[in-house]
Amino acid sequence: MIDRRSFLRIAGVGGVVFASRLARGADPYATSQDEFFFVQLSDTHWGFQGAANPDALVTLPKAIAAVNALDPQPDFIVFTGDLTHTTDDPAERRKRLGGFKEIISRLKNQKIRLMPGEHDGSLDRSEAFKEFFGATHYTFDHKGVHFIALDNVSDPAARIGDEQLAWLKSDLERQKADARIVVLTHRPLFPLFPAWDWATRDGDRAIELLMPHRNVTVFYGHIHQEHHFKTAHIEHHAAKSLIFPLPVAGSQPKRVPLAWDPAQPYRGLGFRRVEAEAQPVKYKISEMPVVKV
Amino acid sequence: MTRRRLLSGALAAFLAGAGAWSLAAGPKEKVVKIAARKFTYAPNIVTLKKGVPVVLEFTSGDVVMGFNAPDLNIRADIIPGQTARLRFTPDKAGSFVYLCDIFCGDGHERMTGKIRVVA
């Protein structure tokens, strides 16, 4: 058996670069692993109108164009929730989901994985989301990595819930202790800043289930900014938004969007590419701007 | 002898009664009513005294809301048509944010308030 290091390196384009290592693990996928990359977009809030982003109608289309310009193209694209901005009107909600669906149909690569955010799903337990995009939690495997999409928003109280946790437990029992696991979700699973509702009420139960697995990385959204955190050996990486940035947790009294700067439109917005490398096992994460300057 | 015993018994009963009265009268429990409605709490600033027991009484005028003051470790679901009660004694002075933690629509993120605990 060959031991090798699994590690994860974060590379910011024009920003901070840091590296961190995950636990050592044997290589259970020697024949099936391959290098690939995927793209994470988050918190597009299609339908938002407000001073925080006067270019709301073109921000997502520009991000789609930026993803389409990647050469080579990603293996697949994930959207980690808040695809649309919330509305009390069920018809308007479907109109926004339909609008979002039309825009992402412009992606060159149509291998797309979606999950809801609370703006999409918390007012109707994701009924409309399911009509357009199907299940809100699921798994898939790609080149030796086991992906788990977790839904922590369809319950408006931000719970994953007993049923889904039992499903997660059952799925994880089928994974080896050193399996490479990536969790995709909307809210942070750990209590990042509960005073701003940046938490999942029963996220600790999900983390507890993930703990026996040595190579787990979580990618999520919700907080509209890049953020990196570890709970024991599990890494949690929040993505930027594609509508407006939010302040650093607790840096100001209110959780209100950072003001739009006409001199630097799209500042603080972006998406990320995640490169999974097989030898040695590592991920390289690059933060990408909406528009290159 | 009998009279003395009777008197001492009466005195004991009086003192016991006084003790019970004095315990019941302890620090008086304060009741604060908080009305939740999209997307506000009224009042949104509540001042309490450290060490004085309080009952927070919540009602919702429209949809299900959540009251959560994470730094005081208190929360409650607020169901329309019902009164939710939280009984606690603030044990530290300071200013503590509370928020709605059940997503209730466009404006949910602004639905916050503050509990000020004075010494």
Nearest by Cα to A151 from A77, A81, A229, A217: A81
**What tokens were used for B24?**
């019941």
Res A127: pLDDT: 98
Distance (Å, whole) CA B44 – CA A253 = 14
Q: Which residues from A are below 8 Å from B108, CB to CB?
A: 86
* CA dihedral angle for residue A91, residue A94, residue A98, residue A101, rounded to 10 degrees: 170
Put simply, the answer to whether B105 touches A196 (Cβ < 8 Å) is no
The residue range of the domain holding B103 is 30-118
Res B6: pLDDT: 45
Res B94: pLDDT: 97
Q: Which residues of chain B have a pLDDT value below 70?
A: 1-27
Q: Which residues from B are below 8 Å from A250, CB to CB?
A: none
Task: Name the interface residues of A facing B (CB cutoff 8 Å).
Answer: 85-88, 118, 122-123, 153, 156-158, 191, 194-197, 201, 254-256
Q: pLDDT for A19-40, tens place per residue?
A: 333 333 333 333 356 789 999 9
Q: Above 70 in pLDDT, residue A12?
A: no
Q: Nearest CA of chain B to the CA of A24: how many Å?
A: 36
Q: pLDDT for A172-214, tens place per residue?
A: 999 999 999 999 999 999 999 999 999 999 999 999 999 999 9
Look at residue B103 and tell me if it is in a domain. yes
- Peptide bond connecting B80 to the previous residue in cis, omega within 30 degrees of 0: no
Res A81: pLDDT: 98
Q: pLDDT for A94-128, tens place per residue?
A: 999 999 999 999 999 999 999 999 999 999 999 99
**What tokens were used for A147?**
């992906």
Put simply, the answer to whether B105 touches A86 (Cβ < 8 Å) is yes
Put simply, the answer to whether A122 touches B103 (Cβ < 8 Å) is yes
Put simply, the answer to whether A85 touches B106 (Cβ < 8 Å) is yes
Look at residue B25 and tell me if it is in a domain. no
Beta strands in chain A (DSSP E): 3-12, 17-26, 36-41, 76-80, 112-115, 138-142, 145-149, 180-184, 215-220, 227-231, 234-238, 271-277, 282-288
**Number of domains, chain B:** 1
Put simply, the answer to whether A156 touches B102 (Cβ < 8 Å) is yes
Q: What are phi and psi of B74, to 5 degrees?
A: -130, 140
Q: pLDDT for A225-244, tens place per residue?
A: 999 999 999 999 999 999 99
Q: Above 90 in pLDDT, residue A89?
A: yes
Q: Which residues from B are below 8 Å from A256, CB to CB?
A: 109-110
Nearest Cα residue in chain A from B103? A156
Q: Does B105 touch chain A (CB under 8 A)?
A: yes
Look at residue B40 and tell me if it is in a domain. yes
- Peptide bond connecting A48 to the previous residue in cis, omega within 30 degrees of 0: no
Res A169: pLDDT: 98
* Chain centre distance of CA A193: 18
Res B27: pLDDT: 64
Res A292: pLDDT: 78
User: Where does the pLDDT of residue A277 fall: very low under 50, low under 70, confident under 90, or very high at 90 and above?
Assistant: confident
Q: Does B71 touch chain A (CB under 8 A)?
A: yes
Average pLDDT for residues A52-76, to the nearest whole number? 97
Look at residue B17 and tell me if it is in a domain. no
Q: Does B107 touch chain A (CB under 8 A)?
A: no
| Fold observed for domain A35-280 | Purple Acid Phosphatase; chain A, domain 2 (3.60.21)
> Letter for the amino acid at B67?
F
Put simply, the answer to whether B112 touches A158 (Cβ < 8 Å) is no
Kindly report which listed range (A41-45, A250-254, B14-18, B25-29) carries the lowest average pLDDT score.
B14-18
Q: What is the CATH number of the domain that holds B95?
A: 2.60.40.420
Parallel, antiparallel, or unpaired for β A215-220 and A180-184?
Answer: parallel
Put simply, the answer to whether A157 touches B101 (Cβ < 8 Å) is yes
Parallel, antiparallel, or unpaired for β A3-12 and A282-288?
Answer: parallel
Q: Does B66 touch chain A (CB under 8 A)?
A: yes
Distance (Å, whole) CA A285 – CA A8 = 8
Look at residue B38 and tell me if it is in a domain. yes
User: Where does the pLDDT of residue A291 fall: very low under 50, low under 70, confident under 90, or very high at 90 and above?
Assistant: confident
Q: Where are the domains of chain A?
A: 35-280
Are A158 and A125 in contact by the 8 Å Cβ rule? The answer is: no
Q: Which residues from B are below 8 Å from A156, CB to CB?
A: 64, 102-104
Are A172 and A139 in contact by the 8 Å Cβ rule? The answer is: no
Put simply, the answer to whether A194 touches B70 (Cβ < 8 Å) is yes
Res B28: pLDDT: 73
Are A12 and A237 in contact by the 8 Å Cβ rule? The answer is: no
Res B21: pLDDT: 39
Q: Above 50 in pLDDT, residue A130?
A: yes
Percent of chain A with pLDDT over 70: 87
User: Where does the pLDDT of residue A280 fall: very low under 50, low under 70, confident under 90, or very high at 90 and above?
Assistant: low
A145 compared with A282, residue with greater pLDDT: A145
Average pLDDT for residues A77-99, to the nearest whole number? 98
Look at residue B53 and tell me if it is in a domain. yes
